[in-house]
Amino acid sequence: GWAMAGNTPFRYFKQSEHRGGQHDALVVHWPKGIEAKGEIRSQYHHISDIAPTIMEAAGIEVPETYHGIPQQPMDGVSMAYSFDAPDAPNAKKRQYYEMFGNRAIWVDGWKAVTLHAKRMPWELAVVLPFEQDEWELYHVAEDFSESTDLAAEHPEKLEELIAIF
């Protein structure tokens, strides 16, 4: 239906870890901080990168402690390096995803992804073994829309990514 059509050219939709479920645009407007005007960036980033970007842009150091309480480090990386460098290489090297047992790991342009038991949302209460899930492999640096599953052609790369997850 409309949810799938609205994600074109990506596969699946929200709750999936394919790009149709987690690829979104981001608009950054900062006239006094970004010289570039209207260009598109293709560096890979995740929502976890927004807070580090804002902190860097504001010149705020992330505290290691707050009122004597140790703080966890931020997971993301700042996107600020890309603001005036559209061709800068990705600063992010790794990102994992999980929702309702659907899982994915992205590492340097490669992505392993699985739909947990390929079931409908109303079937989530049924416990199914993760070992039976079938993993797919995409080289998203070259296959933007995840159209070609390379799992059979690169089983060693797939196993490497699954082990990282």
Whole-number pLDDT of residue 52: 95
Q: For residue range 96-153, list pLDDT tens digits in order.
A: 888 878 889 999 999 999 987 666 667 767 778 888 889 999 998 898 888 899 999 9
Spatial distance between the Cα atoms of 155 and 107, rounded to a whole number of angstroms: 15
Distance, CA of 44 to chain centre = 7
**Phi then psi for 102, rounded to 5 degrees?**
-70, 135
Domain encompassing residue 25: 2-164
Into how many domains does the chain fold?
A: 1
Indicate whether this model's pTM tops 0.85: no
Q: Are 97 and 161 in contact (CB under 8 A)?
A: no
* Side chain identity at residue 48, one-letter code: S
CATH number at residue 87: 3.30.1120.10
Q: For residue range 51-76, list pLDDT tens digits in order.
A: 999 999 999 998 999 999 999 998 89
